[in-house]
Amino acid sequence: MEWRGMKMTAVLIGAGNVASSLGPALEKCGAVEIKQVYSRNKANADELASKLRNAEGLNDLSAIVRDADIYIMSVTDDAIARIVPHLPVNDSVWMHTSGGIGMDALSRLSNNVGVLYPLQTFTKGVDIDFSKVPFFIEGSNDEARRVISTLAGSLSPKVVSAGSDQRLKLHSAAVFACNFVNHMWAIADEILREAGTDLSVLKPLIDETVRKLSDMSPRDAQTGPARRGDKDVMERHKAVLDPMRREQYEYLSEMISQYYQNERN
């Protein structure tokens, strides 16, 4: 990708999980040259900058250059509103990577704004195969859409235009599919440790549960006592759980039971 006859220069605002994966990937594929990395924590900015070709780490918003071609804001949703008033105003393309915030959050910075949202879970130090990650993008005009689409396309063949309302639904679905499910695994791990083992004994079960989704819908893949309406088994489970876990078990079992109530009648 070239911008005005040259490789695009970029500023990366944020040095967390998403930025730490996205920044190096964009440089590796040749899409951009990142000049600066900002983080409130200078050590985090320096750490990410050290993984880039020629980037400077900084923790002073006033030191952000005004003449980069693109600015990628990859910070927490609540930080966007806090940071934006302190950023330079120019004609560059500004984007954020949030699934839950509209592109209008950046509108005071430029006429060319948008969203570059990778629908994936990110953890520092864990490599991501971006070719398998769907990107949902939005732009305020043709130029912004062109630049953002090209950035996303340099990493993945799965690039889809999506407005703010659609992205918010996608993001909420991702919370159900990833964050909530992961918390269930954390609870399972605690219960297993009380029984003298750990989550490793459930990994074949977890792997098969995920594998089934390639062949059937989650609704059809559901098994267990709550779907069957097996109250005796559920009561025995609750008897060995502490009060908080028992309440969680009852709530989730009731959700599942009601979901499949018609097929049992």
One DSSP character per residue, 78-109 reads HHHHHHGGGSPP-SSEEEE--SSS-GGGGTTT
The single-letter code of the amino acid at 54 is: N
Percent of the chain with pLDDT strictly greater than 90: 95
Asked whether residue 264 carries a pLDDT value surpassing 80, the answer given is no
pLDDT tens track for 30-88: 989 999 999 999 999 999 999 999 999 999 999 999 999 999 999 999 999 999 999 99
Given CATH 3.40.50.720, say whether it is the number of domain 2-162. Answer: yes
Question: What confidence tier does 7 reach under pLDDT thresholds 50, 70, 90?
Answer: confident
Position 3 scores a pLDDT of 45
Asked whether residue 265 carries a pLDDT value surpassing 90, the answer given is no
Where are the chain's structural domains?
2-162, 167-264
Beta pairing, strands 2-3 & 6-13:
antiparallel
Helix (H) or strand (E) holding 248: helix 243-259
Torsion of CA 139, 143, 146, 151, to 10 degrees: -80
- Where does residue 85 rank: exposed (0-12), middle (13-18), buried (19+ CB within 10 A)? exposed
Question: What confidence tier does 263 reach under pLDDT thresholds 50, 70, 90?
Answer: confident
pLDDT tens track for 221-257: 999 999 999 999 999 999 999 999 999 999 999 999 9
Given CATH 1.10.1040.20, say whether it is the number of domain 167-264. Answer: yes
